[in-house]
Structure formats: C-alpha cells, structure tokens
Amino acid sequence: MSEDRSSSSRSQVRAKMRRVATLIKKETRQMMRDPASIAIGVVLPVILILLFGFGLSLDVKNVPVAVVLEDTSPDALNLLASFQLSPYFEPQVVRSMPAAEELVRDRAVDGIVRIPPNFARRVAAGDAKVQIIAYGSDANRSRIIEGYAEGAVASWMSSEAAQGRDVTGAGPVVVQSRLWFNAASDSHYFLVPGLIVLVMTLIGAFLTAMVVAREWERGTFEALFVTPVRSGEILLGKTIPYFGLGMIGLTLCVLSARFLFHVPLRGSLWVLLCASMLYVLVGLGIGLLISSAVKNQLVASQLTMLATFMPAFMLSGFLFDLRSMPTAVRAITYLLPARYYVALLQTVFLVGDTWRVLIPNAAALLVMLGCIGLLSRLIMHKRLA
C-alpha cells in the first residue's frame, strides 16, 4: 500500500516537473520569437548602460566662467591665473559686468567671478572681496561651482602666504575632508550601481507586466487554465524564462561596470548575485500581480512605470538622498523594493560584505517576495473561480 502511494506520488511529482518543463520551453520559445521581449531584455539594457556610463556625469570640470577683471594689478592677475590653472574652470576674461551678464544670459558661461577695482589695495588693507555669481537655474551644479571657486581663491591666498606675504589665509580651523569608498569622487561609482537597479526593474517588472497583460487581453492566459496545468505551475513556467533573461541583463551590467566603467567590486560576487536574484524575483512578482489585476496592456504598463521604474529612479536613494525627503515620502520608500536593492548594490560594490547593511536589506526583500508570492497565488485562484 504505502509503497504504492509513494510511487504514485513520485510519478505525480515527475509529471508535474514535466509539465513545468514543457511550459518553460513554450514560454522561452514565445519570448525568443517576440521582438518586444528581446528589445526590453537585451537592447534596452545595452542602451541604458551606454547612456548611463557615457552620458551621465555629475562631475564638474572645465566649467566656463566669465572673470570680470576690473583691476589689472599683479594680485588680480595672479588670482585670475589661479582660476586658469584650476581643472574645474575655463575662464573667459571680460572687462565689465554688463559684458559678463550678457554671457550668462546667452548661457555661454555658468558663472561670473568679479575681481573688483582696487583689489590689490584692498588685499593690502586686508578686506578685499571677490564676488562669485552662479547661474542658479541648475542648482546642484551652481553649488559645486561655488565650492570650487572658493577653493581657487583659497589656494591663491595660501600660495601668497607661502611666498612670505602677510595675508591671512585659511581660517584658524582648517577642514581636511576625505571621501571614503570613492576617493576621487567619480560619479560613475554610484551611477553605475543605480543603472543596474534600473535595468533589473525594467526586465523584472516592466517586461513581465506587459507580456502577461497581453496574454490576459488576448485570452491566452485563460486558455492555459483549461489545460491540466495547475496555477502554481503556470506561475513557475512564466517566471523562469524571464528570470533567465534578467540574469543575462545582470551579467551584461556587471561586466560593463567592471571592465567598461572600472567601478570596483569590493564585496563578493555571490552576494551581488543573490541580491540581484532576489530583486528580480520581487520585480517579476510585482509585474505578474499588476498585470493580473488590471488585464490591460496600457494600464498595466503605466502602473508598472509608476510603481516600479519611476520610483527606482527617483525614490530609491541612488540619485537623491532618502534621509532628506519629507517623512511622508520617506514612508513610501520603505514599501519600494528598489530602495533595499540600491543599498545592497552600493554596499557590495563600493564597501564590501558589510553584513550589518546587507542582512536587513536582504531580509526586507525576502519578506516582500513572500508577500507577493502569497498574493499572486490568491489572485490566480480568484481569477480561476
């Protein structure tokens, strides 16, 4: 008896495996023949990688500025030289304020440095002023430019002081700052891990949502349900091929991060892999859920954009600091898987295997995965009934 039962259950398992395998084969074929899937799964990641890697950079260098030279003393010329030597500026000398203002209005320069008349005399008296006017329409850039301009003035003062001149240079307290994990302040170091988050979101959530919504729209999903295949098996058959596509995207991203953009991987590869698999699964789940809930391609794609891709860009902490967002917005970010994945990736890439960061974030993703799995089972059952 018992032998019988165990052999029959074993054959049941075998039949189940066979059904899932067939489904996977069918889905993979369908995916390969669909130009849209290939476009989102392979073409889009490659475009994103190239755009991000080469197009986006927050590093400031060679900023065009107008230097208004209203004084022609050696002091003023030396200060000008300090701007000319700085790698951050590309000064353009003008003689009057109106000329400089015109350059700003034509957007030929991003700022004005004004060395006023009597500069040398005022330096000797110890109360000289240099005016720096930044073009505020790009706030972030302007702030960085202001910082570098101050640096250029300070470096001139200290070089004067070094030549034995009696100018009070740096203040009584001098700040020595260091940037850990990214000593040269290369913005690729945080943009490229952010890019991986975006690509994984696209493949995981967006692609699944579109594909499954189309199946609901065309009624081919219901057609699957009348076959002997169980709903859990359908889920498995659907997710595994797209999961595979996600892994291909991940490989592309990690390879280009390492070898094209030279972002260091200081943690271990398997942590990166596990975290990414977890995130792709969560994304797949969200895509499945949304598409099964609305069953309409247009609405599904808009919802997934709104719920996954946009937040991954804006609310994940990869571009904008989460700590500075208002409480209500910050509360939303806790519900977004991208937030945890960004923390995981930034840490694995730039810091190393810091378990006290990795474990809580991975745990949050796991909990989400559990909830989404349960929910999608529930929805599938309801849809069947």
Partner 1 sequence: MLAALLRIAALARKELLALLKDRRARNSLLLPPILQTLIFGYAATYDLNHVPYAVLNQDGGAASRELIAGFDGSGIFDRVGNLDRPAQIRSFIDDRRALIAIQIGSDFGRKLDSGQPANVQMIADGRDSNTAATALGYASAVVDAFNTTWRDSHGLPGPAVTVDERSWFNPNLETRWTMIPGMIGTLTLLQTLLLTAMSVAREREEGTFDQLLVTPFRPLEIMAGKAAPCILIGLIQATGVLLVAQLWFHIPFAGSFFTLYAGMGCFVLASVGLGLLVSAFSYTMQQAMLYSFLMIMPFSMLSGLTTPIGNMPPALRYFTYLNPLRYAVDIAQRVYLEGTGFIQLMPDIWPLAIMALVTLGAASWIFHNRLQ
Residues 232-271 that bind partner 1 (CB under 8 A): none
**Do 174 and 190 meet the contact criterion of CB atoms below 8 Å apart?**
no
Cβ closest to partner 1, residue 181 vs residue 261: 181
Q: How many CB atoms lie within 10 A of CB 167?
A: 15
Cβ closest to partner 1, residue 352 vs residue 373: 352
Minimum CB separation from partner 1 for residue 359, in Å? 11
**Do 319 and 57 meet the contact criterion of CB atoms below 8 Å apart?**
no
| Window 81 to 120, contacts with partner 1 (CB under 8 A) | 104-106, 110
Cβ closest to partner 1, residue 3 vs residue 106: 106
Cβ closest to partner 1, residue 76 vs residue 278: 76
Torsion of Cα atoms, 49 then 286 then 238 then 45, to 10°: -10
Query: Segment near partner 1 (CB under 8 A), from 57-65, 66-74, 220-228, 274-282?
Result: 57-65
Minimum CB separation from partner 1 for residue 350, in Å? 5
Q: Does 149 bind partner 1 (CB under 8 A)?
A: yes
Rounded Cα–Cα distance for residues 309 and 331 (Å):
18
Rounded Cα–Cα distance for residues 348 and 272 (Å):
7
Minimum CB separation from partner 1 for residue 4, in Å? 50
Among 163, 164, 219, 356, the residue binding partner 1 under the rule CB under 8 A is 356
Cβ closest to partner 1, residue 276 vs residue 304: 304
Q: Does 297 bind partner 1 (CB under 8 A)?
A: yes
Sheet of 111-115, strands arranged across: 89-94, 63-69, 111-115
Q: Does 137 bind partner 1 (CB under 8 A)?
A: yes
| Window 208 to 227, contacts with partner 1 (CB under 8 A) | 210, 214
Rounded Cα–Cα distance for residues 357 and 174 (Å):
32
Cβ closest to partner 1, residue 104 vs residue 252: 104
Residue 81, classified by CB atoms within 10 Å of its CB into exposed (0-12), middle (13-18) or buried (19+), is middle
Rounded Cα–Cα distance for residues 92 and 14 (Å):
77
Cβ closest to partner 1, residue 25 vs residue 143: 143
| Window 299 to 318, contacts with partner 1 (CB under 8 A) | 299, 301-302, 306, 310, 314-315, 317-318
Query: Segment near partner 1 (CB under 8 A), from 2-10, 133-141, 242-250, 368-376?
Result: 133-141
Token readout for 61 is 């260098």
Rounded Cα–Cα distance for residues 364 and 40 (Å):
27
Q: How many CB atoms lie within 10 A of CB 65?
A: 28
Query: Segment near partner 1 (CB under 8 A), from 53-61, 226-234, 242-250, 259-267?
Result: 53-61
DSSP tag of 117: T
Cβ closest to partner 1, residue 18 vs residue 107: 107
Cβ closest to partner 1, residue 80 vs residue 128: 128
Minimum CB separation from partner 1 for residue 164, in Å? 14
Among 88, 190, 279, 340, the residue binding partner 1 under the rule CB under 8 A is 190
Count of chain residues binding partner 1 (CB under 8 A): 108
Closest-CA residue to 212 (of 232, 239, 182): 239
What is the identity of the amino acid at 96? S
Among 1, 162, 163, 176, the residue binding partner 1 under the rule CB under 8 A is 176
Q: Does 320 bind partner 1 (CB under 8 A)?
A: yes
Burial 312-348 (b: 16+ CB within 10 A, else e): bbebbbbeeebeebeeeeeeebeebbbbbbbbbbbbb
| Window 5 to 44, contacts with partner 1 (CB under 8 A) | 35-36, 39-40, 43-44
Rounded Cα–Cα distance for residues 290 and 300 (Å):
6
